[in-house]
């Protein structure tokens, strides 16, 4: 069921609910929500008055809604294939089913016309936060052809001053830009970072030394994938990430990275490591074939791929990733939830409003049962029942 678009929301309370506030679990709490904001979180026994609307939630854990910073598509749609608001609506609806309340719609390497269309689409949204959108992630086209992965080679191009000027002029829409640092000048990186655009290294063939000689790279896109590996004589991009610890996204599907590799990354990066899905069209569906921006793609045992075997995005959801972090990687429930909410909020400098259940924060709340399945979701104070 779609979320209502009515603006005025009555105050209400979630009662008798356990709360993971981002630091620890608090038992038998009450969360009071007014409009789009959490007004208070307090023990049930300490509360003397409550709003008229009360939703009893015993046995459930309230955690901050999940935040996916790399989402190409889901629910049968792909941003690259249909750059329109209808696509974003489907993506948001599919996200909510899996507990994801915020995301960065992600456009992979495309033509200049499509890049501009995506930027203008997000820029033109009237209430992007109410649709779960925190900005756009442009994954390319300013990458290295040698590490293109599933990206269309014909659209890979140089990030020159003119392109950087366009992006900075539209900085309100562009949150993250993935580039191959060895293919971009320091002058251009400086221009982007000065505008507040987060520059992420990805699809890169850079050496460790090349990366050390660049400043302003504060994030890494899908760690381990489409980057130079760590070896004894050349630490590469992976070695740079593990040593310099930029915020790093990682896909926890057991396909893009072995679960032992995820564990190793977490041991080195801690709160600098956040989970992403890198999901494409089939995520949240039972599709076995799909169109990946003009190329036929398939799903085999959870792996999205082209006919030649090249990985083409993922079919995982955030809640499945949390299960994998707990069951396969061996993290605590609390740390898995932080990797899906608090850490991505920190990575995009929005942890003052997102990623915690705390007074003054946005009312984005996912309620989980004891088996870590999604019971219900609140996005900017509005309830969504999966």
Q: Which residues does the annotation mark as catalytic?
A: 278
- Judge contact between 22 and 64, C-beta under 8 A: yes
Residue of 363, 327, 347, 380 lying closest to 63 (CA atoms) = 363
Distance, CA of 143 to CA of 204 (rounded, Å): 6
Complete DSSP assignment for 133-153? B--EEEE-SSS-GGG-TTS-G
User: Could you give the C-alpha distances from 235 to 116, 208, 210, 229, in angstroms and in order?
Assistant: 36, 6, 11, 7
Q: Which of 57, 184, 21 is nearest to 200 (CA)?
A: 184
Separation between Cα atoms, residue 367 and residue 16, nearest integer Å: 12
Exposed / middle / buried, residue 189 (Cβ in 10 Å: 0-12, 13-18, 19+): buried
Residue carrying structure tokens 């075997």 = 309
- Report the first-to-last Cα separation within the chain, whole angstroms: 8
In terms of C-beta density within 10 A (0-12 exposed, 13-18 middle, 19 or more buried), how is residue 83 classed? buried
The rounded distance, in Å, linking the Cα atoms of 375 and 386 is 7
Q: Buried b vs exposed e over 337-359: b needs ≥16 C-beta within 10 Å? A: bbbbbbbbbbbbebbebbbbbbe
**48 CB burial (10 A radius; 0-12, 13-18, 19+):** exposed
């Amino acid at each position: 069921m779609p979320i209502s678009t009515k603006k005025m929301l009555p105050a209400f309370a979630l009662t008798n609910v356990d709360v993971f506030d981002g630091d620890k679990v608090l038992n038998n709490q009450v969360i009071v929500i007014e409009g789009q904001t959490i007004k208070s979180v307090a023990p049930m026994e300490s509360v003397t008055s409550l709003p008229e609307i009360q939703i009893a939630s015993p046995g459930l854990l309230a955690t901050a809604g999940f935040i996916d910073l790399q989402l190409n598509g889901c629910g049968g749609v792909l941003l690259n294939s249909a750059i329109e608001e209808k696509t974003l609506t489907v993506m948001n609806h599919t996200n909510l089913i899996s507990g994801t309340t915020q995301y960065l719609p992600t456009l992979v390497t495309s033509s200049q016309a499509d890049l501009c269309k995506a930027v203008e689409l997000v820029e033109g949204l009237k209430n992007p936060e109410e649709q779960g959108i925190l900005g756009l992630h442009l994954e390319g086209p300013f990458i290295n052809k040698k590490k293109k992965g599933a990206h269309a080679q014909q659209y890979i191009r140089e990030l020159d001053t003119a392109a950087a000027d366009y992006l900075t002029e539209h900085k309100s829409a562009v949150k993250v830009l993935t580039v191959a640092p060895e293919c971009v000048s320091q002058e251009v990186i400086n221009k982007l970072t000065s505008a507040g655009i987060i520059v992420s290294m990805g699809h890169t063939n850079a050496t460790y030394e090349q990366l050390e000689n660049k400043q302003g790279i504060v994030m890494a896109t899908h760690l381990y994938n489409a980057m130079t590996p760590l070896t004894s004589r050349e630490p590469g991009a992976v070695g740079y990430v593990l040593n310099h610890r930029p915020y790093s996204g990682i896909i926890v599907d057991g396909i893009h990275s072995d679960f032992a590799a995820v564990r190793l990354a977490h041991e080195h990066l801690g709160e600098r490591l956040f989970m992403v899905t890198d999901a494409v069209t089939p995520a949240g569906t039972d599709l076995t074939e799909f169109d990946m921006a003009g190329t036929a793609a398939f799903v085999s045992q959870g792996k999205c791929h082209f006919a030649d075997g090249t990985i083409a995005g993922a079919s995982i959801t955030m809640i499945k990733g949390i299960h994998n972090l707990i069951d396969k990687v061996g993290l605590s429930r609390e740390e898995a939830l932080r990797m899906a909410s608090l850490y991505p909020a920190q990575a995009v400098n929005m942890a003052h409003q997102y990623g915690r259940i705390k007074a003054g924060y946005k009312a984005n709340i996912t309620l989980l049962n004891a088996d870590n399945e999604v019971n219900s979701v609140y996005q900017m104070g509005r309830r969504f029942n999966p």
